[in-house]
């Protein structure tokens, strides 16, 4: 066990906050077990409440396309852990086109609507990820977001994601603050 802990700590030290392709290649070369072990390392870090480690390992897991990452991210986001980089996790779920994340993402949007404004950065990323996932349920939720009581800026972002903003009468210049 001590050897495993040492290996994980060494890996964490070598992993940068935002790994680049060459960093990932080097990590894979030095830690060939990454693909098989990174998800368990993330789960251990969650158990230890080592949120910075979780964030770093999630980014590496996304870069190496570790199997099971989507499930872990859904668990984290559904647990409403605020100490992690939720915006990155939401984007990764979209990149993975994680179909099983739709309910989690829609619930996250509803849970954070009162605290994410006025810019709504997290919910904007949720909208983008739902668009990337593109399932019927994801698109239906985006369509529902184009209507009140959602704030106008989010209704517009959802409409843009669905490519129906003109049909719904949104003025892009007004929405971007370019109108006089």
Reported as a single tens digit per residue, the pLDDT across 14-35 is 776 667 778 888 888 888 888 8
- In-domain check, residue 179: yes
- In-domain check, residue 152: yes
| Rounded percentage of the chain residues whose pLDDT exceeds 70 | 93
pLDDT (0 to 100) of residue 109: 98
Count of structural domains within the chain = 1
Nearest to 112 by CA among 102, 100, 104, 122: 122
Encoding tokens for residue 66?
């570790």
- In-domain check, residue 29: no
Encoding tokens for residue 27?
């990590």
- In-domain check, residue 30: no
Q: Which residue is associated with the tokens 């993975």?
A: 96
- In-domain check, residue 52: no
CA distance 66 to 100: 16
- In-domain check, residue 1: no
CA distance 128 to 67: 22
- In-domain check, residue 120: yes
119-167 pLDDT, tens digit each = 999 999 999 999 999 999 999 999 999 999 999 999 999 999 999 988 8
- In-domain check, residue 127: yes
Cut 0.75: pTM above it: yes
Encoding tokens for residue 55?
């964030």
59-113 pLDDT, tens digit each = 999 999 999 999 999 999 999 899 999 999 999 999 999 999 999 999 999 999 9
Q: Which residue range(s) make up the domain with 121? A: 99-180
């Amino acid at each position: 066990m001590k050897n495993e802990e040492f290996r994980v700590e060494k890996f964490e030290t070598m992993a940068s906050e935002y790994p680049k392709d060459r960093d990932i290649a080097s990590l894979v070369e030095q830690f060939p077990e990454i693909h098989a072990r990174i998800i368990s390392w993330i789960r251990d870090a969650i158990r230890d409440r080592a949120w910075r480690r979780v964030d770093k390992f999630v980014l590496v897991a996304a870069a190496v396309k570790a199997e099971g990452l989507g499930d872990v991210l859904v668990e984290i986001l559904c647990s409403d852990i605020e100490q992690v980089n939720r915006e990155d996790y939401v984007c990764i779920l979209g990149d993975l086109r994680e179909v099983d994340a739709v309910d989690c993402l829609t619930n996250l949007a509803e849970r954070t609507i009162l605290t994410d404004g006025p810019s709504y950065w997290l919910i904007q990323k949720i909208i983008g990820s739902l668009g990337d996932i593109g399932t019927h349920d994801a698109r239906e939720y985006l369509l529902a977001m184009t209507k009140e009581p959602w704030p106008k800026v989010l209704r517009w972002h959802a409409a843009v994601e669905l490519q129906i903003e003109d049909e719904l009468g949104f003025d892009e210049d007004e929405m971007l603050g370019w109108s006089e």
